[in-house]
Amino acid sequence: MSKLRLGLISAFNERVEALMKGIVQAEAIEIVPTYSHPSETFLRQLKDLEFPVGEMSMSSYLIARERGLDMIALPVFPSRRLFHTELSYHTDSGITKPEDIAGKRIGVSEYQQTAALWQRGVLEHDFGVSQYKVHWYMERTEELSHGGVTGFTPPEGISFQRVAPDKSLASMLVNHELDVAAINSPWKNAPNQLGRSQRIPGSDGDWSKVKMLFADRFAEGKRFFDKWGFLPVNHAYTIRGDIYRKHPWVAFNLYSAFVKAKEHFNAKLIDSIPSGLFFGKEYLTKTQELFGSDPFPYGIKANRKLLETLIDFSHEQGLIKKKPKIEELFAESTLEL
Average pLDDT of the chain to the nearest whole number: 92
pLDDT at 193 over 50: no
Q: Point out the least confidently predicted range of 75-79, 164-168, 255-259, 328-332.
A: 164-168
Report residue 232's pLDDT band, with 50, 70 and 90 as the boundaries: very high
pLDDT of residue 260 exceeding 50: yes
Of 3-12, 120-129, 205-214, 244-253, give the lowest mean pLDDT range: 205-214
141 pLDDT band (50/70/90 cuts)?
confident
Distance CA 53, CA 2 (A): 19
Prediction pTM value: 0.92
Beta partners for residue 316, in sequence order: none
Dist. CA 172–CA 218, nearest whole Å: 27
Asked whether 47 and 198 are in contact (CB, 8 A), the reply is: no
Cα distance between residue 52 and residue 244, in whole Å:
9
- Band of the pLDDT at 191, cuts 50, 70, 90? very low
Question: Where residue 128 falls among pLDDT bands split at 50, 70, 90?
Answer: very high
The 10s digit of each residue's pLDDT in 41-99 is 999 999 999 999 999 999 999 999 999 999 999 999 999 999 999 999 999 999 999 99
Indicate the domain borders of the chain: 4-80+233-334, 83-226
pLDDT at position 329: 98
Stated length of the chain: 337
* Domain 83-226 bears CATH identifier 3.40.190.10: yes
The predicted pLDDT at position 230 comes to 97
Whether the per-residue pLDDT at 237 is higher than 90: the answer is yes
| Average pLDDT of the residues in 181-207 | 52
Share of the chain above pLDDT 70, in %: 93
**Residue 200's pLDDT band (boundaries 50, 70, 90)?**
very low
Which residues, 6+ apart, have CB-to-CB distance to 40 below 8 Å? none
pLDDT at 226: 97
Backbone angles phi, psi at 125, to 5 degrees: -80, -30
Q: Tell me the CATH class for 4-80+233-334.
A: alpha beta
Quick: pLDDT tens for 99-113: 999 999 999 999 999
Q: What is the pLDDT of residue 153?
A: 84
Would you give the distance in Å from CA 103 to the centre of its chain?
Answer: 26
